[in-house]
Amino acid sequence: MVLLSSGLVIAGAYADKIRRTLFAQLRDYLKKDKEWGQKIAYAAAQLNRLVYTVLVEQLKVDKGDVVRVRIEYDIDESGKNINWKWDTLVIEAFKRVPKDQIDSIVKQVLVKVSELTVAAVEYSVARLGETADGDIVFAVKLGDKEVGAAIVTPVNETLAVLKRGAVLEPTPAIFERTKLEIQPGKSLEESLKTVLSTVMQTARHVSYDESLKMVNIVRERISATPMAKFEEVEEE
């Protein structure tokens, strides 16, 4: 059994820290077989999705608040899987939130762990502009917070193509070229939201920096202001 600890890190950077820590701990497996890379990235995304539910959706922590995440896991070498020991999960948030409130919320979400770690994400999208060749650039939001960007090529009334996109929350991920089938009575925006909501199943899980780079590549197509990086300030 192995312990993963994020160390003390600002809430805006915990997802990337968890991902980097897990890759560092399992680097020997990755050296032996590159297939481990995909498995490690997916396991980190599962954990980050659950932590996001606790810290952002339930506790409403600010990105500048300091947090720490600790959890144990087993390594299934034959199946090439990382199995989280969910009952060992400890989340600390250093703000004016009573510890018993955090513990209570953690217990509540762990009851639904199998659902939450793969749950659809309720993104919304807003048009930012159109490129010279007719592509449409969208901002991707969670609530009122902008967390990503996507560029779409309309084909006709029933079909469009998501050329590429990326999100930073609840876990950094990139969407590759994907067909958007627009159902009767539905809008392009609704079809895009449906695809983006399946981030855990369909996206490529990457580092925060890689996802942010893609977000800004998309925004650059219409000369939109780049999204800024949240700088990590940590203490072990």
**73 is in which domain, residue-wise?**
2-116
| Residue where a domain stops, chosen among 72, 92, 116 | 116
Query: 97: which DSSP letter?
Result: -
Measure the N-to-C terminal CA separation of the chain; round to a whole number of Å. Answer: 21
Tokens standing for 163? 């050329």
* Stretch among 44-53, 130-139, 192-201 having the lowest mean pLDDT: 192-201
Residue 138 pLDDT level (bands cut at 50, 70, 90): very high
Answer yes or no: do 112 and 151 share one domain. Answer: no
Give the CA radius of gyration of the chain. 18
Specify the CATH number for the domain of residue 74: 3.30.470.50
| Alpha carbon separation from 226 to 37, 89, 232 (Å, rounded) | 29, 35, 18
Tokens standing for 9? 């890190």
Q: Is the pLDDT of residue 229 over 80?
A: no
Q: Is the pLDDT of residue 233 over 70?
A: no
Each residue's pLDDT tens digit, 205-226: 999 999 999 999 999 999 999 9
Q: Is the pLDDT of residue 232 over 60?
A: no
Answer yes or no: do 88 and 48 share one domain. Answer: yes
Per-chain mean pLDDT for the chain: 91
Taking residue 28's Cβ as centre, other Cβ atoms within 10 Å add up to: 8
- Count of the separate structural domains present in the chain: 2
